[in-house]
Amino acid sequence: MIQHDVVIIGAGLAGMRCALEVSKDLNVGMLTKVYPSRSHSGAAQGGIAASLGNSEPDTWEEHMYDTIKGGDFLNDQDAVEEYVKAAPRIIYELEHMGCVFSRTPDGKIAQRSFGGHSKPRACFSADRTGHAILHALHEQLMKNAESVKIYNEWYMHALIVDGDRCNGVVVSNIQTGEVEVIQAKAVVFATGGYGRIFKITSNAFASTADGVMAALDVGIPMEDPEFVQFHPSGLYRQGILFSEAARGEGAYLLNGKGERFMETYAPSRMELAPRDIVARAEQSEMDAGRGVDGKDMIHLDLRHLGKDRIMERLPQIRQLGIDFLGIDCITDCLPIQPTAHYSMGGIPTDKFSHVILDEKGTRMNGFFAAGECACVSVHGGNRLGTNSLLDAVVFGERAGKSVLEYAVGIDYGNVNEGQEKARVLEKFEDVFQRDGSESYNDIRDEMKEIMMSHCGVFRDEERLKVCLETLKGLQERFKKGKVTDKGKVFNTEIYEILELGNMLSVAQLIATAALRRKESRGGHFRTDFPKRDDENFLHHSMVFATPDGLEIKPKPVIITKYQPAERTY
């Protein structure tokens, strides 16, 4: 049995920032199913928010209000306040670590505009900000190599719990197929999002729901799963991201008639309204037959920005357009459509990154979560661009500090190694023994299709019911899937199957919570209930897996400074 004081699952921004903190005093194992440098945090392009005020005066209060208004007042305001207050320090620390930032002429960190932010507060490194931070953190871990053991290409299968205490995880080495138990005094999940359940998504193949589902399996609820963000500028059909930074720098959105249609939907903020509003505007245009060439396509027009600005500030997305479409955005418009991008919901935590067990905030001992997999909730119903990198770093650090407070000086809990291993080995065996009459590929495609069309940008009761019915059928077929590879060495097929199982489950949670929330708020829009309903739904959804199926309980929203107001832009 492997032992570490603390085991962290996931090596993106949250996981690595946490590891740096915890390794100051404790021995850390950090597990990733890819490599740290390949984590999906690296795909974030446009920036990381902080009220540095480097190009215009700015305050944390404004950042706080923008975040809450952007989140349609579902954010827990006490957490938001601490989060935006921490932002400048967090950015300076990243800079001190060596993170590469674009600069103002006088050498400060440059900042640009972003959707929903009233001030230019996105610190950036050209259009690869996530990549820059990811590598800076990774560099610090390489510097402290003796204090953090990194398990590259290992997969986390299950949490080990004893009552209300978490004692470790069951994992396997993808390269060898060996199942192992890691005993730990504390476990931190930084496992990211799960956008892969949608047909069009900006997310990496690794963004499945492993963490959320492992937590659900031990009785932890999931908070606000119905809130999924669709990013307005996914590459047409592929879904990969063209940064909001393009619009931050001044790009236009045009419909099939060549009109800047945002005039109709958000006249004061235009293309820089929050993502939920822009994505819905695009979908409405396309649904009304005003997509480009009558297709589900909108044009992102950067041409007026000029070659110099594009080359300096948006070189990577220009290259993406050339590589994937043969289109150079200096001379032509890029075809885009809304793409599933970010999960506001996740494993519920308090503002100290402790995972909580219920709507009352009871803590699970020794279990922490940070980053996209967690729901604090600082983003409420809709996250503003550049707030996710900030979330990952702020709460990665916080989780680290909380872990140190919790785990220094305590003993390991009990772990029955043989029993825990057997549980996962049985899971493998179960997959290998299936009768093979169904294709996992078909099941995955059908899940992605139904989630996109019936549980996507626009939802209604009828479609959600069909969606749930379809998912139920897919769950049944999943039990009869066909396996080709029964080997142990780098068997990627078996892991894709396990991930699909997790995705089918999280899809059901999302659709169930979406059906119950009979209002429209942030990223969740019901065409049959198009208004926000604070009287009945100003609360978080806590979804529990019970023997009788999913059960949803409300959890109050913490409101400190800003009373819910009408949200117009």
Partner 1 sequence: MATFRIKRFNPEKQPEPYYEEFQLDIPSGATLLDCMNQIKWTLDGSLSYRMSCRSAICGSCAVKANGHALLACQRQAEHIIDNDETITLEPLGNMKPVKDLVVDFTPFWDKINKVKPYLEPKEAPPEKERHQSPQEFRLIDDSSTCIMCGACYSDCNTLEVDDNFLGPAALAKAQRFVGDSRDSQTLERVKELSEPGGIWDCTHCGECVERCPKPARPFDRIKEIMTVALDKGVTNNVGARHAMSFFNSVKRSGNLNENRIPVESMGFFNIPGLLSLVPVGLRMLLKGKVPPVIHHSIEEVDDVKRIFKELDQ
| Residue number with CB closer to partner 1 (25 or 493) | 493
Structure tokens at 124: 């950036």
Query: Cis omega (within 30 of 0) on the bond before 377?
Result: yes
| Residue number with CB closer to partner 1 (65 or 490) | 490
CA 526 vs CA 225, 463, 517, 532: distances in Å = 15, 10, 8, 10
Please tell me the distance from the alpha carbon of residue 509 to that of residue 503, in angstroms, as a whole number: 10
Mark residues 288-317: x for contact with partner 1 by CB under 8 A, - for none.
---------------------------xx-
Please tell me the distance from the alpha carbon of residue 566 to that of residue 93, in angstroms, as a whole number: 37
Indicate whether 513 belongs to the interface with partner 1 (CB under 8 A). Answer: no
| Residue number with CB closer to partner 1 (144 or 362) | 144
Mark residues 85-104: x for contact with partner 1 by CB under 8 A, - for none.
------xx--xxxx-xxxxx
CB 226 within 8 A of CB 526: no
**Catalytic choice (112, 128, 275, 459):** 275
| Least separation in angstroms between CB 492 and partner 1 | 5
Indicate whether 125 belongs to the interface with partner 1 (CB under 8 A). Answer: yes
| Least separation in angstroms between CB 453 and partner 1 | 20
Region 218-277 residues binding partner 1, contact defined as CB under 8 A: 237-238, 240-241
Quick one: which segment of 281-289, 359-367, 413-421, 486-494 binds partner 1 (CB under 8 A)? 486-494
Structure tokens at 547: 């023997």
Longest alpha-carbon distance in the chain = 67
Indicate whether 135 belongs to the interface with partner 1 (CB under 8 A). Answer: yes
Indicate whether 473 belongs to the interface with partner 1 (CB under 8 A). Answer: no
275 has catalytic annotation: yes
| Least separation in angstroms between CB 99 and partner 1 | 9
DSSP string for 481-544: BPP----STT-HHHHHHHHHHHHHHHHHHHHHHHHH--S-BTTB-BTTB-S--HHHH-EEEEEE
| β-strand pairing of 334-343 with 298-301 | antiparallel
CA 488 vs CA 153, 173, 177, 524: distances in Å = 14, 9, 5, 42
Residue 469 parent element (H or E): helix 461-478
Indicate whether 38 belongs to the interface with partner 1 (CB under 8 A). Answer: yes
For partner 1, which residue of 422, 483, 558, 559 counts as binding (CB under 8 A)?
483
Region 180-209 residues binding partner 1, contact defined as CB under 8 A: 202, 204-206
| Residue number with CB closer to partner 1 (37 or 453) | 37
CA 94 vs CA 173, 191, 193, 461: distances in Å = 31, 21, 23, 45
* Residue owning tokens 């990381």: 48
Catalytic positions: 275
Positions in the binding site for partner 1 (CB under 8 A) = 34-35, 37-40, 42-43, 52, 91-92, 95-98, 100-109, 125-126, 128, 131-132, 135, 139-140, 142-143, 145, 175, 202, 204-206, 237-238, 240-241, 315-316, 319-320, 323-326, 439-441, 482-485, 487-493
